[in-house]
Amino acid sequence: DLTMVAIGKALAHGVEVQQRALSNKSQLFEVIKNLPGFDIEHVVMAICIIGRDPENTGLFVKMEDPYKIVFLKQELEAANKNSKDA
């Protein structure tokens, strides 16, 4: 039945997307935890912020470390400012 085949393909694609997202977040964690100047709370918050957007995650992982540090500081400052404004 064509409908069952389509449902099966959609489910398989969903699982693949979830596995890729988990792999990206694991890679993101490995990169961020090794950057100097960030404590555990910063690392966790940064993973939550950057990991929301697969495009940002991919770009971030490919950046050289000095750019990663600036990017993280800006993201953390923006999140901190937004939480104070709320």
Q: What pLDDT shows up at residue 3?
A: 87
What is the C-alpha separation between 76 and 86, in angstroms, rounded? 15
Q: Which residue has the higher pLDDT, 65 or 13?
A: 65
Task: State residue 42's pLDDT score.
Answer: 94
φ, ψ dihedrals at 70, nearest 5°: -65, -45
What pTM does this model have? 0.69
Given this model, what pLDDT does residue 22 score? Answer: 62
pLDDT recorded at residue 8: 81
Q: What is the pLDDT of residues 19-68, one digit of tens each?
A: 666 677 888 999 999 999 999 999 999 999 998 888 888 899 899 999 99
